[in-house]
A and B are shown apart, each in its own frame.
Chain A
Amino acid sequence: MGKYILGRILRWIPSVFILLLLIYALVFFGAGDPIKLIFLRAPGDVAYDEARIDAIRESAGLNRPFFVQFGDYIGHIARGDFGNSLVSGRSVNEMLSAAVPVTLKLGLTAIFFLAIIGIVLGVVAALNQNKLLDNVIVGFALFIWGIPVFVAGPLIIVFMVLGLGMNVPFGWSGLFHPKVIIPLLVLGLNPMAIIIRQARAGVLEVLSEDYIRTARAKGLPRRIVVFRHILRPVMTPVVSQLGLIVIGTLNNSILIEKVFGLPGLGRLTESAIKDSDYPVILAIVLIFSIVVMASNLLVDISYPLMDPRAAAKKKGDE
């Protein structure tokens, strides 16, 4: 197992290297460097003086050839130093150490709850197939699937503030503060729809199997049948979606962190790219890559644990 994990990580490293190179090249040759952008976007009284701007770029090392600069960044990253933001001069390590925990905490908590609630709802729906409860749950799932997350966010905020008279949920006071409930809700609703439908479909598929009928015929109470025989096979398709859900949650955090004032990675992403802040962009891409790779790895490792047949197959595959 350890060798397997190591192998995966080793194979992942060149991929992320090429990804970083690609994105860096896109921004470098496309939008250009951050200094130029600062002066281009300033109000009309700031002069766009080519000589001055060139001197500034020279002092920041932005006149060096493409590969020299890229090599410099990679060299530093390999040593764990993400450098300083080209726009504000602030240490990127510092920015990340504050932003990454926020996004991770929110994301993981949201996924945790939406997975549990989603599975429960999906199972309940499948067990009551075609009855009112099933239709209500499926309808609900499709409904929340249809509202984009950036519409749901402001809608819920205003409903809570103007309708229920709560305080505007803004800012981050840690995971255990009540105002984190609304962002969690907004983050979790969309992916939950997927889980509900996956779980429901999985349970339906299993219900028609013979061994379930045998178990019922044996006289086992429904609850035990559900927990012991149904849930396990359902987990496989659900967990397989996890990789997509993690990416989806990262995407959603880009959309909602701005609205809720959460100091996470998502908030940094948009501004870093629009400002062409190379060190920050590279750092963010790297972190996202790591998160996705880690979750995919975990999913792959957990397959054999959930489904012994997959364990057998895997040994043959690798």
Chain B
Amino acid sequence: MKRMIFAVLCALALVGTTVAEGKQDAAAAGTGQVLNIAHPALSQTWSPLQGGGHAARWQSLMWAAPMYFDKAGALQPFVISKAEPDAKFTVWTLSLNPKAVFSDGSPITAADVKGTWDLCAVPSTKHQRADLFLGGIQGFKEVTSGAKKAMSGIVVKDAATVVVTLGSPDPIFDQKIATALIAPVKISQVVDAAGNEKTDWWHPRNKVAVSGPFMPLSMDLDQGIITLIPNPKFFGPAPKLSKIVLTSVSDASTATLMLKTGKMDAHTELITPTLIEDLGADFVAGPPLAKGQQFWFDANKPPMDDINVRKALLMCIKPEDLAKAAFPLGPYTVATQILNKVSGVDPAFPKYAYDPEGAKKALAASKYKEGKLLPKIMFVGISTPTHEAAAQYMAEQWRQILGIEGVEMKADIETYSGPDQKSVQIFRDDVGTRVPDAVSYLMGSIHSSSGNARGKMGGYKNAKVDTLLEEATTKGVKDPARNKGAQDAQRLFRDDYMFIPYYYDVMSKWAMPWVMNFDKNDDWQVIEPWNVYIDESKRVKK
């Protein structure tokens, strides 16, 4: 009797749920090479207008950027073939590449470019980085506040020309728009009557027209399996791969196992404590990235409000030991200044010295006199084993040299940072730039308007630093005064003792040795997806 109940129950459930379940994705076992990528998140949206998130790291596969930086760091035309400024660098004339077409054959027009960029600024699109690239355009603030739906500074001159007017001179505007995160989309498919982004327009079942070397064949968002095939109408070189499959694998050790056994070839962003031991140094290595992880002081919070305390803390740190503690096997390089990789790196930057005696003296000169009298120091952003090791190393140094006992670490930035954070004094966070420009690097990190200065450094403002940077912004790219301004600003900042140098990031390959031509640039995108191929002779199965 009870067995009958069980059986009936189960049978009903099975029948009912089988009927309701969605269809499976039939992956065709074709000829040619297939690249399997493990993706750490169950991304529920693959819209190219997110401006961030894990899905955005693969933007260049499906979408052609306005322009892009190649392996040598040179600016290459793509959808936009020419970007010409006027004498004051305020009005830019962008000419579209006549060969640029979408996957349905229609040409990429100036209206598409304007529509896309306007849509990026519209609040409902939630583009995370629109202000980084388009923030200087006239009318940007009206659109982001919701007052208007289009920027007055972007004008369609004709089907192949866009004229952009900036609010203030910006010689590197062409570099700023060289990012796949604002790739032009076919605006007629994307925008609804109210001027908002349509849901699911980017899904292949809606016959989306893409502009990149690959196009989506199928997207199973529930299982997290995205299949891409070459775009036959792509206006660049034909891709060598015959298929790319992105599979969502949220668990890092499962992903590591799959990579080791050859079931997966690459990963979007893999961070585990034993990554190098598991998959080799090559997997994690890559070209330096114009991005660095640093520890920032909030000078509003005691004891960091006393510059002597900050000096003392800094002088206890030996960069080589910090590196050995945090990343003994690499692949990062320990930092000395904020700038890295860009041409304006200061060769004569006065590093913070490792000076235990000086540290003790500085602490004695502060209002706290002794380590024991300091209030507890709290770190935030300690979210990976590397950061833990680094913070622990620092805490240990402070304990030994200065007698500071109370140091606490938290991983979650969201519990403390932003307008809600109260008593945390040290934040670990990254700063960087997507364009090879020292001034923009520093504008985003030490200028008082930057999120970093306002949030992490508690409203840091050094008027001289601000002025130097604002002046440097207006200088031309080849003008030596541009980099000089950046370097001077950085030195002034150094003397404020507001940060602990940590490390410079690398653009990790995150792909197994048999994946070739998988180089990525400062935009975190694969530079030439059409050139990627698999060298089977290098494939080693464990």
Residues of A within 8 A of B (CB): 35-52, 55-56, 58-60, 84-85, 87-91, 95, 97-102, 104-105, 108-109, 112, 115, 154, 157-158, 161, 167-168, 170-175, 232, 235, 239, 258-259, 261, 263, 267, 271, 298, 302, 305-306
Contacts and interface: CB of A to CB of B under 8 A. Distances in A.
Nearest to A165: B261
Contacts of A45: 129, 132, 291, 430-434, 444
A105 B24 contact: no
B272 interface: no
Contact of A154 (B123, B224, B253, B258): B253
Interface in B409-439: 413-414, 417-419, 429-434
B21 A52 contact: no
Contacts of B258: 168, 170
B370 interface: no
Interface string B305-348: 00000000000000000000000000000000000000000000
Nearest to A34: B126
Contact of A101 (B18, B124, B197): B18
Contacts of A267: 42, 250
Given A44-B431, A59-B124, A261-B249, A168 B145 contact: no
Contact of A170 (B126, B197, B254, B413): B254
A101 B45 contact: no
Nearest to A259: B251
A128 to B, nearest CB: 23
B5 A42 contact: no
B168 interface: no
B222 interface: yes
A50 B144 CA distance: 11
Interface string B17-60: 11011101000000000000000001111010000100000000
Interface in B105-153: 122-124, 126, 128-129, 131-132, 144-146
B324 to A, nearest CB: 25
B254 A60 contact: no
Given A40-B414, A50-B419, A259 B128 contact: no
B332 to A, nearest CB: 16
Given A45-B129, A263-B223, 14 more contacts: A40-B418, A44-B452, A45-B132, A48-B454, A50-B419, A87-B44, A90-B221, A95-B221, A112-B10, A154-B254, A157-B254, A158-B257, A167-B263, A172-B223
28 contacts: A37-B414, A39-B128, A40-B414, A41-B414, A45-B434, A46-B52, A46-B132, A52-B144, A55-B123, A55-B146, A59-B123, A59-B196, A85-B44, A97-B20, A101-B17, A101-B20, A105-B14, A105-B17, A109-B14, A154-B254, A167-B263, A170-B249, A171-B225, A261-B223, A261-B224, A261-B250, A305-B2, A306-B2
B145 to A, nearest CB: 5
Interface string B147-163: 00000000000000000
A89 B197 CA distance: 10
B274 interface: no
B451 A46 contact: yes
A249 B2 CA distance: 21
Nearest to B124: A59
Nearest to B223: A263
Given A51-B144, A168-B263, A42 B257 contact: no
A171 B257 contact: no
Contacts of A157: 254, 257
B268 interface: no
A178 B515 CA distance: 31
Contacts of B192: none
Nearest to A86: B126
Interface in B222-263: 222-225, 247-251, 253-254, 257-258, 261, 263
6 smallest beta-carbon distances between A and B, as pairs:
A88-B44, A98-B222, A101-B17, A88-B45, A47-B451, A55-B123
A38 B127 CA distance: 11
Interface string B365-382: 000000000000000000
Contacts of A112: 6, 10
Contacts of B9: 108, 298
Interface residues of B, number: 70
B196 to A, nearest CB: 8
B386 interface: no
A171 B248 CA distance: 9
B200 interface: yes
A179 B198 CA distance: 37
A259 B257 CA distance: 12
Given A109-B10, A158-B257, A258 B221 contact: no
B13 interface: yes
Contact of A89 (B21, B45, B419): B45
Contact of B146 (A59, A88, A101, A298): A59
Best-surrounded residue of A35, A98, A267 (most CB of chain B within 10 A) = A98
Nearest to B17: A101
B286 interface: no
A46 B254 contact: no
B1 interface: yes
B13 A108 contact: yes
A38 B456 CA distance: 17
A305 B452 contact: no
A47 B124 contact: no
A130 to B, nearest CB: 28
Contacts of A109: 10, 14
B254 A168 contact: yes
Contact of A35 (B126, B129, B132, B432): B126
Contacts of A59: 122-124, 146, 196
Contacts of B122: 59
Contacts of B223: 171-172, 261, 263
A10 to B, nearest CB: 23
Contacts of A174: 24
A220 B21 CA distance: 49
Interface centre among A100, A158, A167, A263 (most CB of B within 10 A): A263
Given A46-B129, A98-B21, A90 B199 contact: yes
Contacts of A167: 263
Contacts of A91: 199
A108 B12 CA distance: 11
Contacts of B221: 90, 95
B302 interface: no
A49 B14 CA distance: 50
Contacts of A42: 52, 128
B93 interface: no
Contacts of B5: 298, 302, 305
Contact of A56 (B22, B124, B199, B434): B124
Nearest to B258: A168
A21 to B, nearest CB: 25
Nearest to A298: B9
Contacts of B146: 55, 58-59
A96 B132 CA distance: 36
Contacts of B413: 40-41
Contact of A302 (B2, B431, B454): B2
Contacts of B131: 47, 49, 52
